[in-house]
Structure 1
Amino acid sequence: MMSSVEILKVEGGESWFTEEEEGLVSKSWNLMKKDAGEWGLKFFLKIFEIAPSAQKMFSFLRESNVALEQNAKLKAHAKSVFVMTCEAAVELRRSGEVVIRESSLKKLGGVHLKYGVVDEHFEVTKYALLETIKEAVGEMWTPEMKRAWSVAYHHLVAAIKTHMK
């Protein structure tokens, strides 16, 4: 019987996400957490700025005449995705694994597959995520922090891709 949480082992043991990287991710997430809804929306707006056609992947946007910045469904979705991404990043070293509820991970894989998400989409999303975090943390942003978030994002995407079948 499967547990309520599916755990995916990431190769490389202790060296794959360093204590310093974990600290940078945690410190920046703690700064962003209280305004996660705002940062989540900015994250999605950056995605749509880079790839406007991505809006067509969301039924609640295709069916709406409300401005993106005012769209309640987009705001809720954006916050949920941003929080999940950041929380998964924070847990990465502590657990030694990507940990997301099994049903969520399977759903993420299925939805991404259904809408034809490909590697390029994940790259746009990564760029938008890093730019959003850079904006959110201001002077705290460093090349080391960028690398830490990039590593965490890579592991999350790898976990999602395992369910895109």
Structure 2
Amino acid sequence: MDNLAQLLKESWTLVDDHRDRLAGYFYARMFLSDPSLRTLFPVQMDGQRDRLLEAIVTAVQTIEDPEHFDGYLRSLGRDHRKYHVRPEHYEVMGVALLDALRSAAGQRWTIEYDQAWRDAYDAISARMQAGAATDTNPPYWDAEVLGHERRGPDVAVLTCRPLQHPLPYQAGQYVSIEVPRYQARLWRTYSIANAPREDNVLEFHVRAVGAGWVSSTLVRRVRVGDLLRLAAPMGSMTLDRTSTRDVLCVAGGVGLAPIKALAEEMAGWNRTRWMHVFVGAATRDDLYGLAELSALAAEHPWLSVIPVCGADPGFPGERGELADVCARYGPWTTHDCYVSGSVPLVRSVLRALAADDVPPEHIRYDAFGDV
């Protein structure tokens, strides 16, 4: 396994600077081999290309951790049921992926690299198919929007409820969302912002990002009564109830969503562990969810909430970069640490925790991109 991981990492460096070419060739080769596969994907493919590469990089990065590797890929297989992927599609995808890697790497590609990727893809596809085959849930859940509240020009808080079956998940996980009325076959991932509830209501925090097709639709077009589709839950940023360590949570922007869910879950059973939550934004107006967290902290003495503004000189609380403020309150060496937010934010907090000698196994995060 060590040699396989080394070959995968070495070969990936040959194509890492050519991701657009790699993704473009992969989809072109796949659709040429089986034109019917094109109907499974959205008309606009740019975002889909990014998600393919994220999945590949994550799989390569976790192959040295068998438990994480297996769990991630089984979850990914369950998630891909929403695309109506069948077992025979995996062979077509594997051929397309190998051809795309050879094309992007050029003459530096070797027989050893080729065999390593064949072996890796066999392992990846086997675990994804196993995850899909053993899943007894529906491919996705239809959910009705119950509430839609704007929290600023670009942020909305939505609540919805699955129509037929409850969606089983753990606090801290995320799901893919499709808005079939406006953006069919276009899925984007969003963290669930509340712990599981008896009424099966789910809350999501969404920021409209640039010209983002799904995020802009969820913030600006979706209304109460609209239907969403929710895919199977994924993510490992969940609480370890067997741990006795105190908890540190760091959230930037709408990264607050899974952190809020974790705090709500702890409120249901915790009596002995302290939870410190750092919430960062540019200005006080961007701290859209502070009121709910502060109300929860008022009910539970073990929960402390520290708001941080990076570009608001008149803010009465902590000011500066979120990672720097968090580091000043340390050390966090004996804590379970949870980090959520943009890729740059997560990267900066991980550096601060590493400098604080926090063991990597005590850190959990879900960033939708390379960290």
Q: TM-score range by the shorter chain?
A: 0.5 to 0.7
Please name the residue that 1:25 is paired with: 8
Distance 1:26 1:152, change over 3 A: same
1:81-138: per-residue Cα shift (whole Å, max 9, x none)?
Answer: 123214312431x323553885x853x3345334442332100100000000011111
Please name the residue that 1:67 is paired with: none
Cα offset, 1:30, TM superposition: 1.5
Distance 1:100 1:82, change over 3 A: farther
Please name the residue that 1:53 is paired with: 36
Identical positions, percent: 26
> Does the CA-based 8 Å contact 1:47-1:124 persist in structure 2?
yes
Bigger CA drift: 146-155 or 74-83?
74-83
**Matching residue within 69, 75, 80 for 1:112:** 80
1:21-57: per-residue Cα shift (whole Å, max 9, x none)?
Answer: 3222111211212232331122111111111110011
Please name the residue that 1:121 is paired with: 89
- Find out whether 1:85 has 2:68 as its counterpart: no
Cα offset, 1:159, TM superposition: 2.2
Please name the residue that 2:111 is paired with: 143
Distance 1:119 1:148, change over 3 A: same
Which structure would you say has the larger RCO, counting Cα contacts within 8 Å and 6 or more residues apart?
1
Q: Computing the radius of gyration over CA atoms, which structure comes out larger, 1 or 2?
A: 2
- Find out whether 1:154 has 2:137 as its counterpart: no
Distance 1:101 1:163, change over 3 A: closer
Give the aligned residue type for 2:95.
Y
> Does the CA-based 8 Å contact 2:18-2:104 persist in structure 1?
no
- Tell me the TM-score normalised to structure 2 length: 0.33
d(CA) in 2 for partners of 1:32, 1:101 = 26
Structure 2 SS opposite 1:117 = coil
**Matching residue within 15, 39, 43 for 2:22:** 39
d(CA) in 2 for partners of 1:155, 1:28 = 17
Give the aligned residue type for 2:65.
S
Structure 1 SS opposite 2:131 = coil
Distance 1:38 1:119, change over 3 A: same
d(CA) in 2 for partners of 1:113, 1:84 = 15
Cα offset, 1:157, TM superposition: 1.4
More strand by share: 2
d(CA) in 1 for partners of 2:21, 2:71 = 24
d(CA) in 1 for partners of 2:67, 2:103 = 28
Cα RMSD, aligned residues only: 2.4
Contiguous gaps of at least 5 residues in structure 2:
136-371
- Tell me the TM-score normalised to structure 1 length: 0.68
**Matching residue within 58, 69, 75 for 1:99:** 69
Give the aligned residue type for 1:145.
Y
